[in-house]
Amino acid sequence: MDLPQPIRKRLGDFSRNVFIDQSRTQLTPEDHAAFLGHDRKVVSSLTLQMSLYFNMWFFPLWWISEVVMLDLKYPALPDYYKFILVTVLILMTLIEPIRLYLGYAGNLQEKVPELAGFWLLSILLQFPLILFQLFNEAILILPMERGVHIVLAMFVLTQALSGFLALREMVRHTESQFHLRQFD
């Protein structure tokens, strides 16, 4: 299942604008060799893939512990925090499978738009939501809850950093392939 073409195009344009080094216009001998079919360079990230794999197995455990902890502290919370925490749990439950799918597809298949979508979901949604749950003392953070939030925050942070590096390398590789195909 691929992303719809308009979303793919917008994420691809975003990636090219953010991650391409505009000062780099000369092609290297490695770029020429890659274009001719010699030494096909793999640009997917092993660090990102390992982090995605372990996160995929950890997220259900995080979700179960989060639901149990929310049930335990729910009566003691003010009404507005009840609403906020349930909303955050629903949002994270909906976003995380999409984010992990985009990370897998973008990294393993070396698709720039999917990896850019993964990176944006990580930075703009998941990381702020997990930091809210980790550092807002008014929501009565329980010890087990703090532990699972720290682990999930480390996964998201690792994925954001390694995803950025993988995305930058993929965009550079795609850019060099594009320039080389102009000569074919």
> In the chain, what are the domain boundaries?
43-181
d(CA 157, CA 48): 11
Q: In terms of pLDDT, which residue wins out, 63 or 3? A: 63
| CB of 112 closer than 8 Å to CB of 12 | yes
Q: What angle do CA 75, 77, 80 make, to 5 degrees?
A: 125
pLDDT at 104 over 90: yes
For residue range 15-74, list pLDDT tens digits in order.
Answer: 777 666 555 555 555 555 555 455 567 788 999 999 999 999 999 999 999 999 999 999
pLDDT of residue 2: 75
The model's pTM = 0.76
Task: Give me the percent of the chain exceeding a pLDDT of 90.
Answer: 67
pLDDT of residue 93: 97
pLDDT of residue 3: 76
pLDDT of residue 28: 59
pLDDT of residue 159: 97
Average pLDDT, the chain: 87
Q: In terms of pLDDT, which residue wins out, 146 or 39? A: 146
Tell me how crowded residue 98 is: count the other CB atoms within 10 A of its CB: 13
pLDDT of residue 1: 66
d(CA 20, CA 171): 6
d(CA 91, CA 120): 15
Mean pLDDT of 148-156: 97
Ramachandran angles phi, psi of 20, nearest 5°? -90, 130
**Of 35-44, 81-90, 119-128, 165-174, minimum mean pLDDT range:** 35-44
% helix / strand / coil in the chain, to the nearest 5? 80, 0, 20
Could you give the C-alpha distances from 152 to 18, 29, 48, 68, 127, in angstroms and in order? 27, 41, 14, 17, 9
